[in-house]
A and B are shown apart, each in its own frame.
Chain A
Amino acid sequence: MTENKNDKKIGVFVCHCGINIASTVDVDKLVEEFSKYSDVSHTENYKYMCSDPGQKLISAAIKKHKLNGLVIACCSPTLHENTFRRLSENSGLNAYLCEIANIREQCSWVHEDKTEGTKKAIKIVKTIVEKVRKNESLTPVEVPVTKKALVIGAGIAGMQAALDIADAGKKVILVEKSPSIGGHMAQLSETFPTLDCSQCILTPKMVDVAQNPNITLYTYSEIEDLEGCVGNFKVKIRKKARYIDEELCTGCGICVNKCPSKKALDEFNVELTTRPAIYVPFPQAVPNIPVIDKENCLFFQKDACRICEKVCGPKAIRFDQEDEFIEEEVGAIVVATGYDLLPITEMREYGYGKYKDVINGLQFERLLSASGPTEGEVRRPSDSKIPKDVVFIQCSGSRNPEYYKSYCSKICCMYASKHAMLYKHRVPDGHSYIFYIDIRSGGKGYEEFVQRAQEEENVVYLRGRPAKVYQEGDKMVVWGVDTLSGQQITIKADLVVLAQAIIPRNGVEELIKKLKIQTDEHGFLSEAHPKLRPVETNTSGIFLAGCAQAPRDIPETVAQASGSAAKALTLLSIDKIHHLPIVATVDEDLCSGCEICIGTCPYSAREIDEEKKIAIVNEVLCEGCGSCVSACPSSASQQKNFTDGQFEEMIKAILE
């Protein structure tokens, strides 16, 4: 028994986590070991500490033994630190006197040998006991919440999130990079599995967004900068110059009609057509205000033309307009930046994008769409002929870790069935073939939809991924295979549609850097927990929705957007939030005011007290990252409950 040198009464509670911990760590041995400590007043183990009986036994022990320090040896603190700290607080013990010793992820899960595992677990718990000995009671910092949300991206995800938040009576700033809201959904023809017209269900929502008094819409705008943290973000928005006076413009469209420069590739039609240099992306665009594309404008490039200026009735053209910066304060952020398709130019085996009649799924949507370049008649890009044989290739760039993307893009199986079906409706004497690897049709009514394509619409399904597409005369030849019959197959097609992998929106990396949030290896936004916190990022107050996180379809996107909105609203409904009190402190006697900490702090939380000539900490802004503590040359900066003294004892405990 070690001598009790302090007045500590620590409780050590060891969780079996079923067999997750208990199979590799001798939980009885742990109890035996820590009962030897003089300042450990109570120790016991239990099958599931996080369960109700588990929590009750901890609570009872706190009260019975008047514990003033708590060590829970269990899973990772990211999972249950909150659970046990809340329990601690409710049982009359300051939450910050409770610490987690992670003996699951850092011990039992990664080891096999029980003797060694037990030894390591003892060391881990020992370090935490050392830490708890010197932990102080802390009180969370209270911060008021700015009751306004920022939604980035105004596709269906961002629009839904914005509408939900606005409908709950909170103000929303909605920022969209392109000239109109609507996103990719505005480009779609009809939607699976009900085949309702995409525009018909989307455009009313777009109008709702524009007319909602709680939504402030910034289109053709991007996030320039973001500061602050949960509850109080400061965002700087760059409103790019449209070169149009938005107040004066009536959206009559005469400038668009008269513009002589018509060579720019039309983004909305996925480069199947061209558009003028002054343009509205599509007739139902919100706002219905044109934008001048500088790169293609004769005035900007050659100082000539100015026809739009001459024909504009209300005189709304402003060639001298400059980007505008707007600053807003918000309490919560929803990131809904959407997706792009992997460029066809990367497809080695399918011609690197050099064949006009090899197109991607979104291009085919435009060919099917009544608002598309062919007004819904399926005509192929090269010669405008109606294609009689169309081949759809699935997993083009998806499920291909060797050369492209390892993940499944999730929606292609369904939209290919839809494409083949809609094509048959438009071209009744046409033939459609779908090369697939596996059909993934999990979703309400999805499997039935695929079955309908096969049984009633005569779509030919071939199992295999084609090896090559090339041009022979006016045909696109596809070399494929049907693995079910074991036959090599050649199809001479008129049009080939590639289900390109879904990738994060082009250029989103810049934004992610500004938001300081994390992505996975593919650039999709990371959620805080894959199961239990799917719409939150690891940065408190920033939520995510839609394909920015991972490939998904419209119903799932809308549901997730509403989920994000609900999370944001939870935050905006409270008056004050508690900021983690584990922040930096300054020992006034040691600080020389050298200002090194000020340059080091990424959150602008350090400043100089001009009177005392020392550096102080703004506890509201401090995120407890510890940068200043390690940078401080005189050890004046210390982090609460992570002091140098604590670390010293913890390291000793490991090395013993």
Chain B
Amino acid sequence: MKKIAYYPGCTLKTTAANFEESAIESMKKFDIELEELDRWNCCGTVFSLATDDLMHHIAAIRNLIRVKEEKSNQVMTLCAMCYNTLKRSNQRVKSNQEDLDKINDFMYKEDLNYNADVDVLHLLPYLRDEITFSKIAKRVKKSLNDIKFSAFYGCTLLRPKEIQIDDPFMPTILENLITALGGETVETPYAIECCGAYQTVNQVDVVVERTKVIIDGARNQGAEAIVTSCPLCAFNLDHRQKETKKKYSKFIEMPVFYFTELLAYGLGIEFKKEWKDLHYVDPLSIFKN
């Protein structure tokens, strides 16, 4: 079995354990073991944009050192925000020797110096480019049976252009995955827009408004469910439907999936009760077989 170093991040170990489990199980079907790093810390979740703020890149770089310690030059992520943060911090030190030196100096107790030579991967493009969707289609055990999905990409896999995994204005990678799994997709203008992200903490209304627009938009195009590729989008679009319903009584709820859950389902892996329990809107209602 091929092993790939894997960085889980905080949320996939806690409130979104279903995303991680479905991914790990699915990859086993392709003879790939996502091997969790022995030690890892928070990536920072968001990339710091201030030019003079080097401190906030240390967490990300430390994780990349952990990857090197495992004698690996690449690391797989499943979370869009981890991917974005790790990859951009990596790019920053790669293109700025002074920054890299400072960070190495700061972490002088580490056994090795970081040379900006780790590749940060994300599972979605890995499925497309390495496993290939045609191969996935051949392995489908339980087809999504023409269920209509609306893809929701969010921001951090598409922007900025230095880290984009697909065309930032008309991405197709999620749609192609769904199609490979036997589902159908509908097009909405909101797929590449923001869900409100971290405003969900103290400005819930911002997220409620986004959730309403996004879910209504998907429903208008005939979608029965949403498929996301970011754990924060998944939380907001799923769990904030409760507040949305409270504010707009006519709002109709819609199941929200993480792409790895649908992949696992398609490959015949059981959609466990524990997975279901982490959702707000019942995800199983739409499955037709």
> Could you list which residues of chain A lie within 8 angstroms of chain B, going by C-beta atoms?
348-349, 351-352, 354, 468, 470, 472, 477, 479
Contact = CB atoms under 8 A, between A and B. Distances in A.
A470 B169 contact: no
The B contact surface, by secondary structure, is loop
B269 to A, nearest CB: 35
A623 B26 CA distance: 71
A472 B222 CA distance: 12
A470 B169 CA distance: 11
A468 B170 contact: no
Contacts of B170: 348, 351-352, 354
B189 A470 contact: yes
B168 A348 contact: yes
A472 B168 CA distance: 20
15 contacts: A348-B167, A348-B168, A348-B169, A348-B170, A349-B169, A351-B170, A352-B169, A352-B170, A354-B170, A468-B189, A470-B189, A472-B189, A472-B220, A477-B189, A479-B189
Nearest to B192: A468
A467 to B, nearest CB: 10
The 10 closest A-B pairs by CB, nearest first: A470-B189, A348-B169, A352-B170, A349-B169, A468-B189, A477-B189, A352-B169, A348-B168, A472-B189, A351-B170
Contacts of A352: 169-170
A229 to B, nearest CB: 47
Nearest to A471: B187
Interface residues of B, number: 6
Contacts of B167: 348
Contacts of B169: 348-349, 352
Interface string B214-228: 000000100000000
Contacts of A479: 189
A479 B189 CA distance: 10
Contacts of A354: 170
A492 B197 CA distance: 28
Nearest to A473: B220
Contacts of A349: 169
A349 B192 CA distance: 11
Contacts of B220: 472
Contacts of B189: 468, 470, 472, 477, 479
B280 to A, nearest CB: 28
Nearest to A348: B169
Contacts of A472: 189, 220
A477 B167 CA distance: 21
A352 B189 CA distance: 14
Nearest to A403: B161
A349 to B, nearest CB: 6
A470 to B, nearest CB: 4
A351 B167 CA distance: 12
Residue among B167, B168, B189 facing the most chain A CB atoms (10 A cut-off): B189
B275 to A, nearest CB: 33
B160 to A, nearest CB: 12
A476 B240 CA distance: 30
Contacts of A468: 189
A354 B189 CA distance: 14
Given A351-B170, A472-B189, A477-B189, 12 more contacts: A348-B167, A348-B168, A348-B169, A348-B170, A349-B169, A352-B169, A352-B170, A354-B170, A468-B189, A470-B189, A472-B220, A479-B189
A356 B220 CA distance: 21
A348 B169 CA distance: 6
B216 to A, nearest CB: 12
A76 B192 CA distance: 54
A35 to B, nearest CB: 53
A472 B186 CA distance: 12
Contacts of A470: 189
A403 to B, nearest CB: 10
A468 B168 CA distance: 13
A445 B15 CA distance: 67
B221 to A, nearest CB: 8
A351 B189 CA distance: 10
A596 B261 CA distance: 72
B212 to A, nearest CB: 16
A367 to B, nearest CB: 26
A404 to B, nearest CB: 13
A44 to B, nearest CB: 54
A230 B220 CA distance: 67
Interface string B131-173: 0000000000000000000000000000000000001111000
A483 to B, nearest CB: 21
Residue among A351, A470, A477 facing the most chain B CB atoms (10 A cut-off): A470
B150 to A, nearest CB: 14
A472 B187 CA distance: 9
Contacts of A348: 167-170
Nearest to A468: B189
A396 to B, nearest CB: 14
Contacts of B168: 348
Contacts of A477: 189
Nearest to A469: B189
A55 to B, nearest CB: 55
A477 B187 CA distance: 14
Interface string B40-57: 000000000000000000
Interface in B198-242: 220
Nearest to B221: A472
A351 B192 CA distance: 13
A468 B192 CA distance: 11
A349 B220 CA distance: 22
Nearest to B188: A470
Nearest to A354: B170
A349 B159 CA distance: 14
A354 B169 CA distance: 12
A352 to B, nearest CB: 6
A349 B168 CA distance: 9
B18 to A, nearest CB: 32
B168 to A, nearest CB: 7
A574 B192 CA distance: 66
A528 to B, nearest CB: 39
A477 B170 CA distance: 16
A391 B220 CA distance: 24
A472 B188 CA distance: 8
A612 to B, nearest CB: 62
B286 to A, nearest CB: 24
A182 to B, nearest CB: 36
Nearest to A351: B170
Contacts of A351: 170
A559 to B, nearest CB: 41
Interface string B168-180: 1110000000000
A477 B221 CA distance: 14
Nearest to A350: B169
A273 to B, nearest CB: 27
A352 B220 CA distance: 23
Residue among B167, B169, B220 facing the most chain A CB atoms (10 A cut-off): B169
B220 to A, nearest CB: 8
A351 B169 CA distance: 8
A348 B168 CA distance: 8
A487 B167 CA distance: 29
Nearest to B170: A352
A376 to B, nearest CB: 33
